[in-house]
Amino acid sequence: MENARVMSKPCFWYNGQLIEGNSLSLTIDEPGFIYGATVFTTLRVYHQSLDHPLTHWTNHCHRLQSSLQAFGWQQPDWEQLRQGAQSLITLYPVLRITLFPDGRELIMGRPLPANL
């Protein structure tokens, strides 16, 4: 099985930091919370590599960039975003990358469903 590592605690990447746990603090007036003002992509990571051809990392990033440009939102620090994804791919074969209007990033992972 590709992702055999067992985690004791879940973790995620938020705004440049790897965070252990399953809680994130947002203000009650956060547009992403109130209005769903985010853009996101979900990707399958093959062989724990963002550069594997089936992962299509560059295509996912281009779609996110296009969406942010269409809305006139701030671009994230793309190097930081890649660092966050890289920090999670040894733990999770599926990543969801969510970008906020002000450039913050949230990356969460999950296992593959058992039937895949």
Domain ranges of the chain: 37-116
Cα–Cα distance for residue pair 19/63, rounded to 1 Å: 26
Q: Give the HSE-up count for residue 60: Cα atoms under 13 Å, Cβ half-sphere.
A: 24
Each residue's pLDDT expressed in tens, for the chain with a length of 116 residues? 444 444 568 999 999 999 999 888 888 898 888 999 999 999 999 999 999 999 999 999 999 999 999 999 999 999 999 999 999 999 999 999 999 999 999 999 999 988 87
Adjacent-strand bridge partners of 19: 12
CATH 3.30.470.10 fits 37-116, yes or no: yes
Cα–Cα distance for residue pair 40/98, rounded to 1 Å: 4
Adjacent-strand bridge partners of 14: 17, 106
- CA-based max dimension of the chain: 42
- Flag whether the pTM goes above 0.85: yes
